[in-house]
Amino acid sequence: MNELPVYERFHSWQGEGLHLGKSAFFIRLHGCPVHCPWCDSAGTWHPEHKPEYVDRISPTDLAEEAFSSGCEIVVITGGEPAIHNLHDLVHEMRIRNLPVHIETCGAYPIQGEMDWITLSPKNLALPIAENLSLADEFKIIVEDATSIQNWAKQIDFVQFGVPTWLHPEWSCSQDESVLSSITTWIKEQGSPFRAGFQIHKLYQADEKDNRSKPVAALCSEPRK
Ligand code: SF4
């Protein structure tokens, strides 16, 4: 069975997107070759983008932990989780009736049949066509007043017709020009665009709940 390099895993709730508020078991995998400058999970980066020499955890053990948590959904994130073979992990979740969601930049083929795909495109590694048509929702990170326009030139979100969330990049979440650009875009364009936010950060959901702390010695840094 394909063991996976796990950076951290914890029980919390989904703070973004269409499944906002659901009890969720997060599995954050090591490794990302993309290296966005504002990444809030840079602790997962590794000199080798698919690290071979960190401890690995079996899909069965991960699924047992998720099942024991009582979560409604499992969210596989990273890093960039699609660089890993996730077939065994998805299988183990599925036989426990746990819906599996993935959060990916979309630049790599997704290895495993997901119940929900959140595609958050990144300029440094653009999504491949097959992932654009598989996405159940898009999440655009709005870094400045021109971000939305730039993304709309690169991807025809209207064609895909799935919810397209416009999230202020967290360090800009009080920035008037960023927030106004989201409001104006949604008022002018309407569907499929929606205003988004990382609500779990407002609640400090992970910091305040002991069950959200990383559960292994592997997990040396908290979720940011
Ligand atoms: S793709 Fe995601 S995990 Fe990788 S650097 Fe960018 S924001 Fe961070």
pTM of the model: 0.91
The DSSP string of 173-191 is TT-HHHHHHHHHHHHHH-T
If you measure from the C-alpha of residue 216 to the centroid of ligand 1, how many angstroms do you get, rounded to a whole number? 23
Residue 28, phi then psi, degrees to nearest 5: -105, 115
The answer to which of 29-43, 104-118, 147-161 has the lowest mean pLDDT is 29-43
CB atoms within 10 A of CB 59: 20
If you measure from the C-alpha of residue 121 to the centroid of ligand 1, how many angstroms do you get, rounded to a whole number? 10
Q: What is the pLDDT of residues 38-67, one digit of tens each?
A: 888 888 887 666 666 677 999 999 999 999
User: Given the CA of residue 78, which atom of ligand 1 is nearest to it?
Assistant: 3
CA–CA distance, 165 with 156 (Å, rounded to integer):
14
If you measure from the C-alpha of residue 78 to the centroid of ligand 1, how many angstroms do you get, rounded to a whole number? 7
Q: What is the pLDDT of residues 94-127, one digit of tens each?
A: 999 999 999 999 999 999 999 999 999 999 999 9
Q: How many CA atoms lie within 13 A of 171 on its CB side?
A: 7
CA–CA distance, 90 with 87 (Å, rounded to integer):
5
What are 1's two structure tokens? 């069975």
If you measure from the C-alpha of residue 66 to the centroid of ligand 1, how many angstroms do you get, rounded to a whole number? 24
CA–CA distance, 10 with 65 (Å, rounded to integer):
9
Q: State the pLDDT confidence band at 1, using cuts at 50, 70 and 90.
A: confident
CATH of domain 4-212: 3.20.20.70
Residue owning the nearest CA to atom 6 of ligand 1: 36
Q: Which of 81, 192, 80, 207 is nearest to 138 (CA)?
A: 192
147-154 and 176-189 are packed helices; what angle lies between their axes, rounded to 10 degrees? Answer: 40
Contacts with 202 (C-beta within 8 Å, 6 or more apart), sequence order: none
* Sheet bearing 116-119, strands edge to edge: 56-57, 4-13, 23-29, 73-77, 100-104, 116-119, 137-142, 164-168, 193-195
Residues with CB under 6 A from ligand 1: 32, 34-36, 39, 41, 78-80, 105, 122
Q: What is the pLDDT of residues 175-213, one digit of tens each?
A: 999 999 999 999 999 999 999 999 988 888 766 655 555
| Most informative mutation of 45, 80, 124, 224 for ligand 1 (most atoms within 8 A of CB) | 80
| Most informative mutation of 26, 29, 77, 122 for ligand 1 (most atoms within 8 A of CB) | 122
User: Given the CA of residue 42, which atom of ligand 1 is nearest to it?
Assistant: 8
